[in-house]
Amino acid sequence: MGVASDAIYFAFHPSQLGVLVKWKLRHVPFHKRNETQESATAKICFEFLHQTGRSMSPIIKQLHPELRLPVCVFYLILRGLDTIEDDTSIPLVIKEPLLRSFKDHLDQDGWTFTGNRPEEKDRALLVQFDNIITEFRKLKPAYQAIMKYITDKMGNGMADFARKATLGDVSVDSVEEYDLYCWHVAGCVGEGMTRLFVEAEMGEISLINHSLYRSMGLHLQNNNVIRDLREDFDDGRRFWPREIWSKHVDNFEDLFEPKYLRNALNCSSEMVLNGLKYTCDCLSYLAALREQSVFNFCAIPQTMALATLELCFRNPAIFERSVKIAKGEALQLMVESSQDLEGVVKIFCRYVRRIQQKNDPEDPNFLRINVACEEIERFAETLVLKSVKLAKKKTEGKEHQAGSNSGQVIATLAVASIFVLGVLWLMAHRSLL
């Protein structure tokens, strides 16, 4: 947010100004970035992070020092990949091999790409991509391996969809195909981040074993696809699966016709219902994180995604434009999400209740939506209770261990004292003889 736009916004929304003040006064980063210790190329990376990911930049910059630069570099690598995939001016004969081989360029000193159209918003990142490669090659080998592995998976997935779109099929047929698209775009990112967290010992190994990262990524991408319906349609792209929209309208274009508004709203509510199926896994994922800055990094986007889903639910505006939650509400979510699991659970429950309140009895999915919301609330409340019990058990275990250690120390001192007294007695006895 620019200073001028902020001033204008809060002038018309004075009630939300208090949230901004609260955030500025109360929010103290767990880990402050020290720019004096950064290389010139690292500073360039953080500058590109600010330019290409304004919402993620502050959260990434407050990560634990062990992960701050690796996550920044990883974000920029995937942003570069996405910038190639998004540019419709790049012919398939260039785009496809470039996406599939993008990981190999990470080992190529000085590599850059100047083939984006001039108006592509993140073109400069690829023009100066050699700076990102320089910092990438300084990272730990384990981190590099994770990033290359995910870049390869994501690049090939994007290439598959780019080929399909070029051949004239710009739609998604089944929910399974839709999930696969969301996986390649966002799920892979979740897997990569998770592997970094676990490698840095800031998350439990169960995060990988149970593939909870998949739900984290798909929850975020479902939100994006629902929110950006109109924008994608105007660009000639259709990501809502035919399996869902064909239940409500005959043609995809009918979703934007006022006379089919009720059908369109029912269709959008089924899309939200499809997105809600990942919510419980997201909470389980957050419960397995072991470092506060990493928790914040993961929790804030998830709460904002759910808030956006609630905003989109049965909202006619999504057929006219992309909708966004208010700046003040976003700030409030950042404040509440930067605490603990219980705080995030309260947010999740608040928004699913709002979805229930807006649920239309005449919607064909009315009952399914209510059941889904109730299941999320029950799961969330149970998860908090388990977390509280686990924390209490760990505290009692530490206290027991401390007590046990104290007892061992006392016993050791007692034995040592008896031994010393015995030696002194023998020495005194011999001197008398």
Cβ neighbours of 107 (radius 10 Å)? 12
Q: Which of 270, 150, 272 is nearest to 213 (CA)?
A: 150
**227 catalytic per annotation:** yes
Cβ neighbours of 368 (radius 10 Å)? 15
The encoded tokens of residue 149 equal 């592995």
The encoded tokens of residue 154 equal 């994501």
Q: Which backbone phi and psi does 86 adopt, to 5 degrees?
A: -75, -25
What is the maximum span of the chain, computed from C-alpha positions, in angstroms?
A: 117
What size, in residues, is the chain? 433
DSSP 246: T
Q: Say which of 123, 237, 350, 368 is annotated catalytic.
A: 237
Contact status, residue 208 vs residue 289, Cβ threshold 8 Å = no
Q: Which backbone phi and psi does 203 adopt, to 5 degrees?
A: -155, 150
Cβ-based neighbours of 79, under 8 Å, separated by 6 or more: 52, 53, 122, 125
Q: Which of 105, 120, 131, 114 is nearest to 49 (CA)?
A: 131
**237 catalytic per annotation:** yes
Contact status, residue 44 vs residue 131, Cβ threshold 8 Å = yes
Q: Which of 239, 203, 244, 242 is nearest to 221 (CA)?
A: 239
How many whole angstroms separate alpha carbon 374 and alpha carbon 25?
Answer: 36
Q: Say which of 297, 313, 348, 351 is annotated catalytic.
A: 297
Q: Say which of 10, 48, 75, 181 is annotated catalytic.
A: 181
Q: Say which of 68, 195, 214, 227 is annotated catalytic.
A: 227
How many whole angstroms separate alpha carbon 388 and alpha carbon 378?
Answer: 16
The encoded tokens of residue 407 equal 């007892």
Contact status, residue 48 vs residue 75, Cβ threshold 8 Å = no
Q: Which residues form the catalytic set?
A: 181, 227, 237, 297
